[in-house]
Amino acid sequence: MTNMTLPATKPANPNFSSGPCAKRPGWTPAALTDAPLGRSHRSKIGKAKLKEAIELTREVLEVPADYKIGIVPASDTGAVEMALWSLLGERPVDMVAWESFGSGWVSDVLKQLKLADARKIEADYGELPDLSSIDFDHDVVFTWNGTTSGVRVPSGDFIPADRKGLTICDATSAAFAQDLEFDKLDVVTYSWQKVLGGEAAHGVLILSPRAVERLESYTPAWPMPKIFRLTKGGKLIDGIFSGATINTPSMLCVEDYLDALGWAKELGGLKALIARADANTAAITTWAEKTQWVDFLAVDPATRSNTSVCLKIVDPEISALDADAQAAFAKAIVSFLDKEEVAFDIGAYRDAPSGLRIWCGATVETANVEALIPWLDYAFATQKAALASA
């Protein structure tokens, strides 16, 4: 369908970026008033804030009581790298990837850690690899939700409860929007900047009892910089998991995370957050199913993300163009919507196939997704007309 009528209303909030993501509805800088600025993070109040952040994380994310939760440096990347460098090498590892971030972890393990006993299990954008080919006697590294392809694992069913290896899961664009099955996961990482709309620079590292056991029984052959060190004298540094961070965190960011967690708790916790992401994605799905020019990049509907919703342009005339012209067409839609202040940052990730990526995480209001949809049709129709007359 073409829509050449300028839509009457714009989304009240045009922030649809996949990270940093929209702040929670109603957020203003006043939410940060209680931040203990100018105080040591090791003061009583500083430590109390960090401890509260860990405790609220456990409550809202429904993390089992016997799992450790730590706030670590360098956002999600920092948390993942700490896990890879601290845990891997004890046994073979299966590296499972289907988009850019997962591929980044594959390349780290093969080219930087140089682990010889590493298998790659990969798929192209839009697909999941054959999960049944994973050997769970090995350690396994994977991304729960592939942010750059909008493909997620449908559940943790592919992971056996009695595995011998550890499962290390980058869950940054899944945490707080999808049901992470903690009994199937030994390491879970994420950043505050995603589903909760918090700030970047801090990561969260969650460890199962089996991951802690590995840390305390295995010492990697390579040197470990201070920023990655989770053990001392063969014992887990417990302080990291009670708020005594490795180095100095931003108490402003911590306050912002506490605000986001408070909002999430008030909403009804994890279930409510998941429901918001699902409702946002449902609005896109309803439209995409009746719209001929657009389709999900995720081939199997069961693997479609409810956060990083990736769409490709499948209009036959546009698909007939060469790859550069298709990318330019998608970019023209994105630039138009940006200029109109209808939607910011909705272009496909730089390494992904061209198209659109619309964040549908919990901080996005469904009314805003609904308001965006007629603009997508309008932008497509006007850009296509411009192309025809060029």
Ligand X SMILES: Cc1ncc(COP(=O)(O)O)c(C=O)c1O
Residues that bind ligand X (CB under 6 A): 19, 75-77, 101, 143, 147, 170, 172-173, 191, 193, 200
Q: Given the complex with ligand X, which of 152 and 384 has the nearer CB atom?
A: 152
Q: Which residues contact 248 (CB under 8 A, 6 or more apart)?
A: 41
Q: Given the complex with ligand X, which of 143 and 208 has the nearer CB atom?
A: 143
Pairing outcome for strands 294-296 and 139-143: unpaired
Q: Which residues pair with 189 in a beta bridge?
A: 170, 205
- State in angstroms the smallest separation of the CB of 88 from ligand X: 17
Instruction: Tell me the residue ranges of DSSP E strands in the chain.
Output: 68-73, 93-97, 118-122, 139-143, 145-146, 151-152, 167-170, 187-191, 202-207, 231-232, 235-236, 294-296, 308-313, 356-359
Residue 195: exposure state from Cβ atoms within 10 A (0-12, 13-18, ≥19): buried
- State in angstroms the smallest separation of the CB of 230 from ligand X: 18
Closest CA to 190 of 14, 342, 72: 72
Pairing outcome for strands 187-191 and 167-170: parallel
Q: How many other CB atoms are there within 10 angstroms of residue 33's CB atom? A: 10
Q: Given the complex with ligand X, which of 54 and 97 has the nearer CB atom?
A: 97
Q: Given the complex with ligand X, which of 142 and 287 has the nearer CB atom?
A: 142
| 43 φ, ψ (degrees, to nearest 5) | -70, 170
- State in angstroms the smallest separation of the CB of 174 from ligand X: 8
- State in angstroms the smallest separation of the CB of 362 from ligand X: 16
- State in angstroms the smallest separation of the CB of 189 from ligand X: 8
- State in angstroms the smallest separation of the CB of 96 from ligand X: 13
Q: How many other CB atoms are there within 10 angstroms of residue 193's CB atom? A: 25
- State in angstroms the smallest separation of the CB of 72 from ligand X: 11
Q: Given the complex with ligand X, which of 273 and 371 has the nearer CB atom?
A: 273
Closest CA to 238 of 212, 267, 220: 212
Distances (CA, A) of 333 to 22, 167, 272, 355, 381: 21, 39, 32, 9, 10
- 88 touches 109 (CB < 8 A): yes
Q: Given the complex with ligand X, which of 194 and 384 has the nearer CB atom?
A: 194
Q: Given the complex with ligand X, which of 291 and 303 has the nearer CB atom?
A: 303
